Structure 1
């Protein structure tokens, strides 16, 4: 039997949008903890395909099935920020303690939240704290560089973008964007 994601992909290929929603909601109404891997796959697929309300529902359910797994909460908060639901995103993120190994990711999402509201200085402080907690994460240099570029601090931006390009050992897709900003 095909997985829920395969069924939804087939419905999308056939341009049967109503069937996509029916399949999703039917699965969500019947899903059990034994199907958690399929739920994880569905949440990621929904988010990457632009079905943000559905991804939000799936990540919310994942937080209920695995409340100790902060990754689901962080991904849920990221969707909330992208949907402009800042207060709800803050509420969700503040449940993750600072000693959690995923806390640098919390700070990145908080930075995005504050940047979206125009608080570039607060966004920068969140990223600097994330960099303090995870200095080996080159992607944080990219985030800092792009934030500083957007806020008009070109000189400081260059420093972080160059460091990102120097220390990035895996292709993340952000390398091209960093090079564009440095031109």
Structure 2
């Protein structure tokens, strides 16, 4: 009879007459047996009446303290009420031989993960896997927890274990595997998973990651295709432009590369990395003025941007604008930035400006970083020779000959110094 009462109440609730259905449950609750009370508690939980559900389940658990279904249901209600400590205390009491033990471990793993206790969470999942090694839900959870910690390599075998069960589990499995393979540098392995993931559902972030991964794998045409698809979906997806420009450059399409970079700067004019990349492409086209303009804009955004400053000083050195080299790098140093390349460039610039004392100081400071760089040693050695420091120069020419023993010019200079 009580079963029919619950069915009647459920029919009313399903038809939208929630209050009348609940009144029937309340009026008849005193006559319900344990199974009916449990069913009523589940109805309350589904309707969001968590306190009512909790009280019924606590009453039942008092009489049946080891019943796993009651423990799990009450724990879920506690979780929904943000009473995690109560839920954890319940779940930890499920004995290993009991039916709900594995489900309890999974719930505990979720709770510990939510609290940031990833190692404890993973241990609970590994305990579950030891009991049920082929359960795909456990493998999926282990994949997820390792992914959340950035341990992509460790996550891959767990996700792959779920692959044979993909029809049973609705989950973006291919997307996860693509992400993991890409993040671990296994770009070629990631490609087919990206293809499958995008066939199932077109997601712009996944499409972007596909383009980025194709670029890293050396599939430049594919990268161009996918990143252009991202652009068509969302012109303001600013992250795409740097990689699209790089893909075009790798294909030798410098004009398209510069065009993509400039498109990106329209979307985000403060993208300093894109400005420097565009400047380097402009330099490959021998467009020095355009490169200088872009580099100055990057430095205006970030006066301490070392890569932009070093690239700009290379232009100044090439154009013999030595005072500009000194001004640019000294301004950078004012911001507390340091780089061994600064000293090398300042040494050359000051040498050309006939500030020989400053030049020598910068050469000596740069030596530690560039003592095996033949270009630096060449500059420094000839500077010392011009300054009459023959013994110091001799040491450097000897190192240069070791690096390039076939260079007859160096051999002749060294011989003269030796004599």
Give the TM interval when normalised to the shorter protein. 0.7 to 0.9
1:181 paired with 2:176, answer yes
- Would the aligned equivalents of 2:95 and 2:101 in 1 still touch at CA under 8 Å? yes
Alignment of 1:106-117 (within 5 A): 106-117=104-115
Aligned partners of 2:176, 2:49: CA distance in 1, in Å? Answer: 30
Alignment of 1:106-145 (within 5 A): 106-145=104-143
Please, which runs of 5 or more residues in structure 2 have no aligned partner? 179-419
Aligned partners of 2:40, 2:154: CA distance in 1, in Å? Answer: 40
1:57 paired with 2:52, answer no
Alignment of 1:1-183 (within 5 A): 2-14=4-16, 16-28=17-29, 30-32=30-32, 35-166=33-164, 168=165, 171=168, 174-183=169-178
Instruction: Call closer, same or farther: CA 1:98–1:181 in 2, change over 3 Å.
Output: same
- Would the aligned equivalents of 1:4 and 1:27 in 2 still touch at CA under 8 Å? no
Please, which runs of 5 or more residues in structure 1 have no aligned partner? none
When structure 1 is superposed on structure 2, of 77-86 and 145-154 the one drifting more is: 145-154
Q: Which has the larger radius of gyration?
A: 2
Query: Relative contact order (alpha carbons < 8 A, sep ≥ 6): 1 or 2 greater?
Result: 1
> Cα distance, 1:128 vs. partner?
0.8
TM-score normalised to the size of structure 2? 0.37
- Would the aligned equivalents of 2:91 and 2:105 in 1 still touch at CA under 8 Å? no
TM-score normalised to the size of structure 1? 0.76
Kindly provide the CA deviation profile for residues 69-95 of structure 1, in whole angstroms up to 9, marking residues without a partner as x.
222102211221232211111222233
Q: How many residues align?
A: 176
Over the residues paired in the alignment, what is the CA RMSD in angstroms? 2.8
Aligned partners of 2:38, 2:167: CA distance in 1, in Å? Answer: 24
Q: What SS class does the counterpart of residue 37 from structure 2 fall into?
A: helix
Aligned partners of 1:60, 1:19: CA distance in 2, in Å? Answer: 25
Aligned partners of 1:129, 1:60: CA distance in 2, in Å? Answer: 28
